[in-house]
Amino acid sequence: MARMRIVRVTGWSIHLPYAEGSYRMAGDRVTTGMDAVVVRVAADDGTIGLGESGTVGVTFDPHHNAGQIAGVAMLAPTVIGCDPRSPQSVHRRMTAALTGHAYVKSPIDIAVWDLAARAAGVPLWKLLGGDGPEVTPLYRPVQGATPEDAVAKTHERLQQGYQRLQVKVGDDPIVDAQRVLAVRAAVGSGVTIFADANCGFSLSAARRFVRELGTDGAGVFLEQPCPTLTDCAHLRDSWSGPMVIDECVTSLAALLEAHQLGIADGITIKLTRVGGITPAITIRDVAVQLGIAVTIEDASGCNLADTTFAHLNASTPARWRTHTVDFDSWVTVHHVDGPSARDGSFLRPQADEPGLGLTLREDVLGEPFIDVTA
């Protein structure tokens, strides 16, 4: 088999303003856009791969856009000469060059997987072991200070075609519960609701929140109520409903701990947080073996990120596939050409196009911050 090697790595950083102006998480963490890093990896035969991953401000995960730029610039020369058809080997090379800093490895790792799939002539979902170009339901966050605001936003979300809602909580437990109950009353029992605190509740506030929801818990999935696995586990004495861990899923070890504590009914794997597709599929595959429902998404991006989620979720067995996001609808800047991953209320990967099947719009991306060649 002919040798193939990476001969060029190019990276761009781009700010993606929100179409709705702002995005708010518990604790008054307000952002007006997301920052994405886009990487293109080229092989000596001209095959390319693309990856996008980024940050949503500096108060969500412990990530910083400038740190991701510096890390990608540092790692880019280290992957020159690697065979891109073995993404795990390229990831090991990055880990040998830089301990930790998982989030800076993510866009390079995603680009290498895209390249490997293009080199194999198959869509990424197939390379990752999927049964077909299967769809993943979309959810969209619902914010609003009052129950009335939240209900108005809920109607807008349903109008926009979303059938699953992530109501933001994590501030005042009583008002938060009133908002969730108002949304539940507005949509009836047929719409899936996640109540996402984004780590915002102390243990005592989380206990008050779930008590206010009533005995049936308003039929919601509780997402990352408290900042630590220990506090989420203590909440089990007052919440027997489904719990989903997001921010704490930083590694396979964290998944195993959450499983052991009995709080991982579901997990959310964010590609930037864990370091890209290579670690994400290890965590995902173990979760599936343990019978844990999985969401694969990220903190930031546009259609390139969405398409990556579409392929990864499609390669997750349908029984354990939860839902995901379509960031391209959230933002006003779009830096790839190719079909939208969104298909109504779902994300759907392309059936036959090799890799992710997208091309970059360099006119939108502007000047790269790194461009290294062999």
Amino acid residing at 132: G
The mark string for 137-176 relative to ligand 0XW (x by CB under 6 A, - otherwise) is ----x-----------------------------------
Size of the site for ligand 0XW (CB under 6 A): 9
**Which residue is listed with tokens 């006119």?**
363
Which residues ranging from 182 to 201 are in contact with ligand 0XW (CB under 6 A)? 196, 198
**Residue 35 in the binding site for Mg ion (CB under 5 A):** no
Burial of 102 (0-12, 13-18, 19+ CB in 10 A): buried
Q: Is the Cβ–Cβ distance between 80 and 9 less than 8 Å?
A: yes
**Residue 61 in the binding site for Mg ion (CB under 5 A):** no
Question: What is the rounded CA–CA span in Å between residue 149 and residue 139?
Answer: 18
Four-CA torsion 348, 350, 356, 357, nearest 10 degrees: -140
Question: What is the rounded CA–CA span in Å between residue 150 and residue 133?
Answer: 34
Q: What is the radius of gyration, based on Cα positions, of the chain?
A: 20
**Residue 246 in the binding site for Mg ion (CB under 5 A):** yes
Three-state DSSP state, 359:
strand
We find the least distance from the C-beta atom of residue 244 to Mg ion, in angstroms, to be 8
Q: Where are the alpha helices (DSSP H) in 47-123?
A: 65-79, 87-97, 102-120
- Cβ proximity to Mg ion: between 26 and 177 the closer is 26
Q: Identify the H or E element spanning 233.
A: helix 229-234
| 270 in catalytic set | yes
Which residues ranging from 83 to 142 are in contact with ligand 0XW (CB under 6 A)? 141
The mark string for 311-330 relative to ligand 0XW (x by CB under 6 A, - otherwise) is --------------x-----
Residue 56 binds: one of ligand 0XW, Mg ion, none (C-beta under 5 to 8 A by kind)? ligand 0XW
**Residue 245 in the binding site for ligand 0XW (CB under 6 A):** no
Cβ atoms within 10 Å of 110's Cβ, excluding its own: 33
Q: Binder to ligand 0XW among 79, 127, 220, 299 (CB under 6 A)?
A: 299
Residues, the chain, total? 374
We find the least distance from the C-beta atom of residue 273 to ligand 0XW, in angstroms, to be 10
Q: Binder to ligand 0XW among 35, 134, 176, 246 (CB under 6 A)?
A: 246
Q: Is the Cβ–Cβ distance between 42 and 24 less than 8 Å?
A: no
Q: Which stretch binds Mg ion (CB under 5 A): 88-96, 242-250, 312-320, 342-350?
A: 242-250
Strand 6-17 relative to strand 33-43: parallel, antiparallel, unpaired? antiparallel
Question: What is the rounded CA–CA span in Å between residue 124 and residue 115?
Answer: 9
Residue 162 binds: one of ligand 0XW, Mg ion, none (C-beta under 5 to 8 A by kind)? none
- Cβ proximity to Mg ion: between 59 and 359 the closer is 59
| 168 in catalytic set | yes
Q: Which residue is nearest to ligand 0XW (CB)?
A: 299
Contact residues for ligand 0XW, defined by CB under 6 A: 56, 60, 141, 196, 198, 246, 297, 299, 325
* Residues with catalytic roles: 168, 270
